Amino acid sequence: MNRDKSKQGISILVVVLCVAILAVAGGFAVYKMKKNTTTLMVPQETPATSMAKTTETPQASPTAAAMTATTGNTDTDLDKDSADVTTKLNGLSTDSTSIDQGLNDQQGNLSEN
């Protein structure tokens, strides 16, 4: 009977030690995660430092530049611009049709007879 109590006492001790080890490991993991997030934070810029940086203007695409280069206010200019837009949209429609055909392409018979 004395042996049963000692085995029971050892099993309780093992469970308590396992829980303690898991608690320490969990606490360490939380500490490391908090430490990593604080070191990854980027300092905020002040207005003085953001003004000192050089800024680059984005380059317009060639098609956008071509469309806006010679626009006018007359009916003739607006009709020409409308025709240019229609032409470009038709070109995009042709490109889209070609892409659709390529995606729907079926594999031919590759067997050698």
Q: Per residue in 83-97, pLDDT tens?
A: 999 999 988 888 888
Mean pLDDT of 76-81: 90
pTM for the whole thing? Answer: 0.30
One domain, residues 36 and 6: yes
> Does residue 6 share a domain with residue 37?
yes
- Do the domain assignments include residue 50? no
Does residue 88 fall inside a structural domain? yes
**CA 7 to each of CA 14, 17, 28: distance values in angstroms, whole numbers, following the listed order:** 11, 15, 32
- Higher-pLDDT residue of 69 and 21 is 21
Give residue for tokens 């430092």: 49
pLDDT at 26 over 90: yes
> 26 lies in a domain?
yes
Confirm whether 94 is domain-assigned. yes
pLDDT at 16 over 70: yes
User: Is 48 part of any domain?
Assistant: no
Mind listing the pLDDT tens digit for each residue in 45-60? 655 555 555 555 555 5
Show the CA angle centred on residue 41, arms to residues 39 and 47, nearest 5°. 135
Grouping H, G, I as helix, E, B as strand and the rest as coil, residue 84 is helix
Residue 55 in any domain: the answer is no
More confident residue, 84 or 7: 84
Q: Which helix (H) or strand (E) holds 108?
A: none
Structural domain for 96, as ranges = 63-101
Closest alpha carbon to 21 in 13, 32, 33: 13
Q: How many domains are contained in the chain?
A: 2
Separation between Cα atoms, residue 23 and residue 16, nearest integer Å: 11
Residue 57 belongs to a domain:
no
Contact 33, 39 (CB under 8 A): no
